[in-house]
Amino acid sequence: MVGKLFVISGSSGVGKGTLLKEFLNRHENFKLSVSCTTRQPRIGEVDGTNYFFITNDEFDKHIKNNDFLEWAEFSGNRYGTQKSYVEKKLSEGKNIILEIDTKGALQIKSIIPNSVMIFILPPSFEELEARLRGRNTETEEAIQKRLQSVKSEIENSKYFDYKVVNDNLETALKKLENIMC
């Protein structure tokens, strides 16, 4: 049996990570894909679990060898999803979840048309800004960059199969389960 690919996207700070963590705790038959990144690990992140932390030279080699299903650059760092990783997990019958930006999600949809695209929306722009600031993980400049990209990301949500507003964790989780299970 071949697994199914789910692509979850949404602006930074909408709570994708929190939502997916709770979803994965409840559904063992789903696996979160691990992407490659050139950024430095945040406190508590583990190589091979949260991301594969690689150098710019290693990332360039992956691009040259066409190893990525998608890749993108954001805030001076690059992120990519390895084809071999996703194909292996799907062939093992695992349902794979990609948590990626909207541009990457649209690249995936063009390559794997039967992937299920889900866009997570914030309850409001003001709430999103408060969440980003509440993280205390980024500079003011990085927060402003993220906020500037929100409008285009939300505009691209029209290309997704489903939209889920994350205004209440339990409510959003139920909506996600209705789509994915």
The whole-number pLDDT of residue 21 equals: 94
SS3 104: helix
Average pLDDT estimate for 136-162: 86
Q: Read off the pLDDT of residues 5-22 as tens digits, 9 standing for 90 and up.
A: 999 999 877 889 899 999
Paired strand residues for 136: none
- Are 13 and 96 in contact by the 8 Å Cβ rule? The answer is no
The whole-number pLDDT of residue 164 equals: 97
The whole-number pLDDT of residue 67 equals: 96
The whole-number pLDDT of residue 78 equals: 95
Average pLDDT estimate for 143-157: 84
Where are the alpha helices (H) located in 29-168, listed in sequence order? 56-64, 83-91, 102-111, 125-135, 140-156
Percent of the chain with pLDDT over 90: 67
Query: Tokens representing 106?
Result: 């649209």
